Amino acid sequence: MRCLRTFSTLLLAVSALMLAGCATQGPPAPEQPVPQQVLPPAFPPQDIVGRWGLAAFHKADDQERTEAAASNQCRQPYIITLGPTGGVMMHIADQPQAEELRLKGAPGGKTFIGPDGEVGGVQDREVISFNGRVLVLRWVDPEVQGRYGTMVYVRCGPEGEKRPPPKPKPKPKAKPKPKPAAAPLAPGPASMRPPAPEPQPRQ
């Protein structure tokens, strides 16, 4: 009987210790997302410095029409300059003042434009395409993307103008056909022939 009481006491003590340990541990901490490593961008900041016509679209079918609309905005261009520490001076969503943004590369050849720090953060824009003349950017934040749409920048000035199609080469002028040689004159009537010399008398 004494052994049973001792065993019961020991079991209660162990149970109490286990419950105390569970109470102090609490729920497991949520896993922290692993930040993406910043890679070199697909192009340097200098490539997007300049004057740009700017427009936006919400439907992919409207991109070509939006490019034409952006070209017409070159009378009031959006100007991108280099920042004091090597970035580019541009605007982020809902901010009236331009600030220095970074071009940040990401795995898969992606490039983002946004503030220092996280790659693909909510204030970033992803570069959808860039061919030197047309730059297409999409906001990472779905709410901002829904309000502003996909941004299309078309370079202004000679570097951004579409080259006119080459003029067709002039056709070589046809050489004039040589004139036919004049036909020999037919002998005229007898009255027009010189008189035949008279025969000389024999001596």
pLDDT one-digit tens code per residue, 91-131: 999 999 999 999 999 999 999 999 999 999 999 999 999 99
Please report the pLDDT score of residue 132 as a whole number.
95
Please report the pLDDT score of residue 14 as a whole number.
44
Please report the pLDDT score of residue 167 as a whole number.
54
Please report the pLDDT score of residue 23 as a whole number.
47
Does residue 121 fall inside a structural domain? yes
Please report the pLDDT score of residue 25 as a whole number.
55
pLDDT along the chain (203 residues), means of 10: 47 49 52 64 97 97 96 96 97 95 95 95 97 97 97 85 52 65 54 55 56
CA distance 94 to 92: 6
Does residue 28 fall inside a structural domain? no
Does residue 201 fall inside a structural domain? no
Does residue 141 fall inside a structural domain? yes
Does residue 112 fall inside a structural domain? yes
The pTM score is 0.62
Domain containing residue 49? 45-155
Does residue 78 fall inside a structural domain? yes
Does residue 12 fall inside a structural domain? no
Residue 1 contacts by C-beta under 8 Å, 6 or more apart in sequence?
none
Does residue 63 fall inside a structural domain? yes
Please report the pLDDT score of residue 112 as a whole number.
98
* Tens of pLDDT, residues 137-146: 999 999 999 9
Q: How many domains does the chain have?
A: 1
Locate tokens 């679209």: which residue? 57
